Amino acid sequence: MIKTFWFLFYNILVVPSLYLLLRIAGLFNSKVRRGIKGRKRVYEQLILDAAAIDKSKKLIWFHSSSLGEFEQAKPIIEKLKKEKSVNVLITFFSPSGYENSKKYPHADLISYIPFDTKSNAERFIKIVNPTVAVLMRYDIWPNTIRALAEHEVPVFLVDATMRSSSPRKYPFIKSFHRMLFSLFTNILTVSESDAQEFLDFGLQKEKVKAVGDTRFDRVYQRSLLAKERNLIKEEIIKDKKVFVAGSTWEQDEEVIFPAFEKLAKFDMNTIMIVAPHEPTELHLEKIENEFSGKIKTIRFSHLNNYSDERIIIVDSIGILLTLYTYADVAFVGGSFKQNVHNVLEAAVYGIPVLFGPKIENSQEAKRLAELGAGIIVRNKKQTYKVLRKLFSDEKLRKQKGEISISFVKANLGATEKILKEIYSYLK
C-alpha cells in the first residue's frame, strides 16, 4: 500500500515536474541540451549495439551519474572482466560521463540511462536484460529500481554514503526512501557509520554491509601507472622542493598564492605547480598577472623552453594525478569554494596534504586531518606558516607523508569485497 502510494506520487507529481525543469534548463544550459539530444535514439542504438554482443554471456549493468562516479566503478569492472566471461553495460546520466567514456575498452555497451518514467524503465530493462545491476554511489532512479525488482534482477548500491544530516532523512521524504532502499538486494557502504545511517531507514540488517570505498583501489592503481609517465624532465625539478596545488578555484588561489609568494622569498629551492580546476585562457592569464613582476611563471605546455621559472601553470586537463608524483607537499582545491576535491589523489604518493576548511563532503579529508597527514588551513598567514614548517623540516614532512600512504593502503580491498557479493548472483 505504501509502495503504491509513493509511486503514484512520484509518477504523477515528481516525474512530470523533473522533466519540465530539465526541458527549461536545456534552453539555457548546453550540457543539459546535449543530454536531452543524446537520449533521443537511446533505444534504437541499444538494440543495434546489443545485437553485436555474445548473448550467451550474462550481462552486468553498471550505472554512474557522471565521470567521477564512473572512476569508482572502474576497478570493479576491470577486475570483473579479468575474472569472468560476462558482458558489461555502462550507463550515465550526465553528458560529461557518457561523452568521455564512449571508448572505454572494458565495456561491451555504453549508453545514456533513459529519463525515469515507468514505461522507459520497463523498455530499457527488457532490451538489455541484465543479470545484475550495480548503481554507483547515489544516482537512484525509482522507476528503474522498481522495474529491476519486478524482473527479479539483483540490484546493488555500491560505494554508498549517508550523512546523518541528509535531506533524505527529513520526515516526509524518509518514508519514500525507506520504501526505495528496501527494493535493493544489497547496499554496500564505504564505512560502518554509513551503514548505520542506512539502517536508520528500518532496513534489514543483512541488506546493508560496510565494505569500503573503491576510490582507494582506483587511485592506487592509477598512481602506479602515473609514476611511469615522466611528464616533467628530471633537470627541471632536480634539487627542488615541489608544492603542487591541484584543482584550484579562484577562492583557493586567493589564499595559497600569497602564502607561496612569501615562502619563495625565504626558500629559493621551492617551486609551485598549479593546476586550475578549469584552465580556461582567462583563468590562466589571471594567474600569470597575479605573479607578474614578482615570480617568473611558465605554462606547462611551454616546458621545453623552461628557464628557471618557479611557478608552472598547468594549461591542460587529465594529468593532475601524475603531477602529484612530483610533489613534496600538496594542496587540494575546492576547499575554500564549496567542497574539497579528491584528496586521495595526493595522499597516495605519501606526502602531507593541505586543504581549506570546506571538507564536509570528504570523509577522507576529515580522516587525514584527524591522523595528522592532512592539514586544514584557513587563511594566508596560517598557510604560509604551515608551508614554511613543512618545507624546512624534512623529518616532519616525511612523517606526515608516511601517515598518508599508510592510510590509503589500509583502505584498499573494497573491490574484492564488492565482487564477492556480485559473484554470489552469477552462479
- Any idea which residues carry the catalytic annotation? 69
Contact 103, 131 (CB under 8 A): no
3-class DSSP state of 273: strand
**Separation CA 93–CA 105 (nearest Å):** 20
Pairing outcome for strands 132-136 and 155-160: parallel
User: 380 to each of 14, 60, 251, how far by Cα in Å?
Assistant: 46, 49, 12
3-class DSSP state of 314: coil
Instruction: Name the one residue in this structure whose C-alpha cell is 543495434.
Output: 48
Secondary structure percentages of the chain, helix, strand, coil, to 5: 50, 15, 35
Q: Determine how many CB atoms are found less than 10 A away from the CB of residue 86.
A: 17
**Separation CA 282–CA 142 (nearest Å):** 42
Contact 371, 407 (CB under 8 A): yes
